[in-house]
Amino acid sequence: MVRQAEVRDGENGYAPAPARPRWFLPAGWVLTLIGLALSVYLTVAHYQEGALVCTTTSTVDCHSVTTSKYSELAGIPLPLLGLAFFAGFAVLITPAALRSAHPVLRWGRLASVCVGLLFVVYLVTAELAILHKLCLWCTGVHAVTVLLFVLVLSDEFRRIGSVD
């Protein structure tokens, strides 16, 4: 039996994957835009002292988290990396990118959310296990990243499940 991914067509080399559910694109865009908005806010707050609005209780303390040594990677503020992640992901889920059979776009979506998930694990560990503080804005970014991971992974399982 021939696997669907191995069936050649004349134009791009592979047969298209089965159709995505109708909710996939709107869900991906809503999550991406929320992630972009949160990342823009955290980036602005990083560069403008006093712009961050968050409670400072014993556990919830955005300022402590966003100004800790874990808030930068190689001198780059993590909100800026988040902004780059969500902007790049927005390109990867445009209708044209989702229709394309080009493997770089498919693997780019999967790789980006996997790297995003690894960052979430690292950052949540730093927040809870090391700093003993939690940033609610950061938690929003983490939740969006995890949901994008689930969305892309479900799309991959759909592709695999449709192959005979």
Judge whether 129 lies within some domain.
Answer: yes
Beta carbons of 32 and 90 less than 8 angstroms apart? yes
**C-alpha 57: how far from its chain's center?**
28
What does the pLDDT look like over 65-76, one tens digit per residue?
Answer: 988 999 999 999
If one counts the domains in the chain, the total is: 1
Judge whether 2 lies within some domain.
Answer: no
Q: What is the pTM of this model?
A: 0.84
- Cα dihedral 102/103/104/108 (nearest 10): 120
For residue 20, the model assigns a pLDDT of 81
- Residue 78 pLDDT greater than 60, yes or no: yes
For residue 9, the model assigns a pLDDT of 42
- Residue 13 pLDDT greater than 80, yes or no: no
What does the pLDDT look like over 50-65, one tens digit per residue?
Answer: 788 887 777 888 888 9
- Kindly report the CATH number assigned to the domain that includes residue 130: 1.20.1440.130
Q: Which domain holds residue 89?
A: 22-159
For residue 133, the model assigns a pLDDT of 92
For residue 159, the model assigns a pLDDT of 77
For residue 1, the model assigns a pLDDT of 41
Identify the band that residue 14 occupies on the pLDDT scale cut at 50, 70 and 90. low
- Residue 163 pLDDT greater than 70, yes or no: no
CA distance 89 to 94: 9
Beta carbons of 61 and 68 less than 8 angstroms apart? no
Judge whether 126 lies within some domain.
Answer: yes
Would you give the DSSP letter of residue 48? S
Judge whether 6 lies within some domain.
Answer: no
CA distance 28 to 156: 14
Judge whether 11 lies within some domain.
Answer: no
Burial degree of 18 (CB within 10 A; 0-12, 13-18, 19+): exposed
Beta partners for 61? 56
What does the pLDDT look like over 83-139, one tens digit per residue?
Answer: 999 999 999 999 999 888 888 999 999 999 999 999 999 999 999 999 999 999 999
Judge whether 4 lies within some domain.
Answer: no
Judge whether 117 lies within some domain.
Answer: yes
Q: Which residues neighbour 159 within 8 Å (Cβ) at sequence distance 6 or greater?
A: 5, 17, 18
Query: How many angstroms separate the Cα of 136 from the Cα of each of 27, 51, 52, 55, 65?
Result: 22, 15, 11, 9, 10
Beta carbons of 5 and 145 less than 8 angstroms apart? no
Q: What tokens does 150 get?
A: 């689930």
For residue 44, the model assigns a pLDDT of 93
Identify the band that residue 3 occupies on the pLDDT scale cut at 50, 70 and 90. very low
Judge whether 80 lies within some domain.
Answer: yes
For residue 5, the model assigns a pLDDT of 42
- Residue 142 pLDDT greater than 90, yes or no: yes
Q: How many CB atoms lie within 10 A of CB 128?
A: 12
Beta carbons of 138 and 127 less than 8 angstroms apart? yes
